[in-house]
Amino acid sequence: MEKKENIKKDIFVKLSSIKNLPVMPDLAIDLMGYTIDDDTSIKELSAIISRDPALAAQILKVANSSFYALKRQVGSLEKAIIILGLREIKNLIFTLSIIKLFPKETNFCFDKVDFLKHSLITARTSDILTKKLQLKFEVSPFLAGLLHDIGKIFLDQNFHHEYNAIIEEAKKYNKNIFEVESSELGTDHAYIGSHIANVWNFPQELIDAIKFHHCIDKSNDNILLICVISISNLLSNLRNNWLVFPKYEVDFFDLTEWKILERNKMIEDFDIEKIIFEIDDEFKKSEDIANLYKGNYL
Ligand SMILES: [Fe+2]
Ligand SMILES: [Fe+2]
């Protein structure tokens, strides 16, 4: 008990010092509230991206990769934005920004590519689910999905030894990691992630989506985005099986999250099975995108 209290105290001491937290690039923060839909915006966006030449070069590299199968190589940012589309570019910038948060040359308790894959699949699924259900959020559901497990990076980097033990315990005894974290640390990656998002001055909607993605019943506000992130996380787990214990079949159709979404539905045809079936097509694409980053940026 005392050990748990001590480690909880240590976690909050580390969290309270900004130097221990990952730094979100300014560009991603600027882009968060930026909606764009015409030609002038393309110019504006490319001017913003050009502030970070390394990022601009990476965007061109990704745009010219075989994944997008462009007929001709793209040489300018403006062309890349026109071809890939504003939404894709914005999501690409968020993804590259998150990859920047991964410290290089350190041992992780988990596979970095698997982490990225899980985050990316959750992000893309959140984006697609939002579109399919015709929901509107103030924040990017893609960014919320991408960051939902950011607390795991903090734990890995600052409490590597302890976090390794937590993962091992979950594996060995087939327990849920979130629950092992709570019982061993007195806190969990979702709470820690929400604290980091708060320090980054992110909107409350995004903070809540991170904080409650494993415990929707504890939330009061911003419930629809939490539902989207929670369902996308579970779908991503079902597909990717990354650090998922115990290995059980989730009764997916019976989730509280679906019931809440259905109660607030914006579309007539709210058929869960059909929605999942359509999203499934996108999984392969998300995995391909994650593989694209492998070797290049990780
Ligand atoms: Fe999580
Ligand atoms: Fe997750």
Tell me: the pLDDT tens digits for 211-245?
A: 999 999 999 999 999 999 999 999 888 877 666 66
Residue 148 alpha carbon to ligand 1 centre in Å: 6
Mean pLDDT of 253-271: 90
Alpha-carbon distances, residue 245 vs 54, 180, 208, 242 (angstroms): 38, 11, 24, 9
Residue 21 alpha carbon to ligand 1 centre in Å: 18
Burial of 126 by CB count in 10 Å (0-12 exposed, 13-18 middle, 19+ buried)? buried
The single-letter DSSP state of residue 139 is S
Residue 40 alpha carbon to ligand 2 centre in Å: 37
Which ligand neighbours the alpha carbon of 118 most closely? 2
Residue 267 alpha carbon to ligand 1 centre in Å: 28
Residue 188 alpha carbon to ligand 1 centre in Å: 9
Which ligand neighbours the alpha carbon of 234 most closely? 2
Which ligand neighbours the alpha carbon of 212 most closely? 1
The rounded distance, in Å, linking the Cα atoms of 240 and 138 is: 29
79-131 pLDDT, tens digit each: 888 888 888 888 888 888 888 777 766 678 888 888 888 898 899 999 999 99
Residue 173 alpha carbon to ligand 1 centre in Å: 19
pLDDT value of residue 87:
82
Residue 124 alpha carbon to ligand 2 centre in Å: 13
Domains of the chain: residue spans and CATH: 25-100 (no CATH), 103-293 (1.10.3210.10)
pTM score of the predicted model: 0.89
Q: Where are the alpha helices (DSSP H) in 133-188?
A: 141-147, 150-158, 160-173, 177-185
The rounded distance, in Å, linking the Cα atoms of 288 and 274 is: 23
Which ligand neighbours the alpha carbon of 176 most closely? 1
